[in-house]
């Protein structure tokens, strides 16, 4: 979901009292020294946002699978990054305009590789059941009722195994109904300055901040840590390789999101 505009956001922050919200929700425990986050469950090596990809991420030992949540026309929660199904399946149309039966009939694997033909678009319920006590979920809340997403998380006993990603305003809505769940927005550009994170945290006491590695500096990460805030960066693109992993770790990040969780796992094992 989109962040609110810079001008409006800055005005909203300025209106918040000087005292930061107290207390952070606990983060899920990690298997590694930093969080190994499989972007769309590892889209560089598997068909994205599928159960096959999640099973592979579990096998690799990922700490989190990042998954995108949307609601179908008839209100079923499914996993799909794009607004429409065109890029990753053999179907056409927006998720919100298609019923679940139609989406379920699509092939979500063959476009990645013929050996994954027949892979289906999973439901959020299926994902939660598969991930329970095996891997945490970085919930990228795209387009679905907040209360419905929360109810599914509760139903599967996953409240201690999720972190919620969205824009700052939407995450305030999450905190209003589920203060015990950790949230993670991307830090807006206007707060990427000395003192900016302290200012931002007055508006939303986010447990973790996100953003591409190229948007972060060692100094900004230290500022976040001084506020008790973790930093999970996206190494997607030209830095999604061992050299980029090394750069991120040397900057002091707390987690790395990658399309290649197999490579990051190998790097972390070789550099404990």
CA quadruple 14, 20, 25, 31: dihedral positive or negative? positive
Distance between CA atoms of residues 95 and 135, nearest Å = 26
Question: What DSSP designation does 252 have?
Answer: T
Annotated active-site residue 141? The verdict is: no
Q: What is the DSSP letter of 36?
A: E
**Active-site residue, selected from the candidate residues 32, 81, 136, 141:** 81
Length of the chain, please? 272
Task: Provide the 10 A C-beta neighbour count for residue 109.
Answer: 25
The continuous run of DSSP H or E covering 141 comes out as: strand 136-143
Contact between 182 and 208 (Cβ < 8 Å): yes
Tokens of 221: 């990460």
Q: Which residues of 164-178 are buried (b: 16+ CB within 10 A; e: fewer)?
A: bbbbbbbbbebbeeb
How far is Cα of residue 192 from the mean position of the Cα atoms in its chain?
A: 20
Q: If DSSP codes are grouped into helix, strand and coil, which group holds residue 233?
A: strand
Q: Which of 162, 173, 169, 191 is nearest to 67 (CA)?
A: 162
Residues 39, 136, 141, 156: which is the catalytic one? 39
Among this protein's residues, is 81 annotated catalytic? yes
The closest alpha carbon to 61, from 35, 28, 26, belongs to: 35
| Residues noted as catalytic | 39, 81
């Amino acid at each position: 979901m989109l962040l609110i505009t810079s001008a409006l956001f800055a005005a909203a922050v300025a209106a918040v009292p000087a005292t930061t919200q107290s207390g952070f929700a606990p983060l899920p425990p990690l298997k590694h020294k930093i969080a190994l986050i499989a972007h769309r469950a590892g889209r560089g090596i598997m068909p994205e946002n599928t159960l096959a990809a999640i099973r592979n991420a579990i096998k690799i030992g990922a700490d989190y699978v990042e998954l995108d949540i949307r609601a179908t026309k008839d209100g079923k929660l499914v996993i799909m990054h794009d607004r429409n199904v065109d890029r990753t399946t053999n179907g056409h149309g927006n998720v919100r305009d298609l019923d679940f039966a139609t989406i379920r009939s699509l092939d979500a694997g063959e476009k990645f590789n013929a050996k994954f033909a027949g892979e289906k678009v999973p439901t959020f319920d299926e994902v939660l059941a598969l991930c329970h006590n095996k891997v945490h979920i970085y919930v990228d809340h795209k387009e679905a009722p907040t209360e419905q997403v929360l109810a599914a998380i509760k139903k599967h006993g996953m409240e201690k195994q999720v972190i919620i990603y969205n824009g700052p305003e939407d995450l305030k809505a999450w905190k209003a109904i589920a203060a015990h769940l950790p949230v993670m927005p991307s830090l807006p550009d206007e707060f990427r300055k000395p003192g900016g994170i302290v200012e931002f945290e007055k508006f939303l006491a986010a447990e973790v901040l996100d953003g591409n590695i190229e948007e972060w500096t060692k100094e900004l990460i230290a500022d976040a840590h001084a506020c008790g805030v973790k930093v999970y960066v996206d190494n997607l693109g030209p830095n999604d390789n061992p050299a980029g992993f090394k750069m991120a770790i040397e900057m002091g990040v707390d987690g790395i999101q990658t399309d290649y969780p197999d490579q990051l796992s190998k790097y972390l094992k070789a550099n404990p």
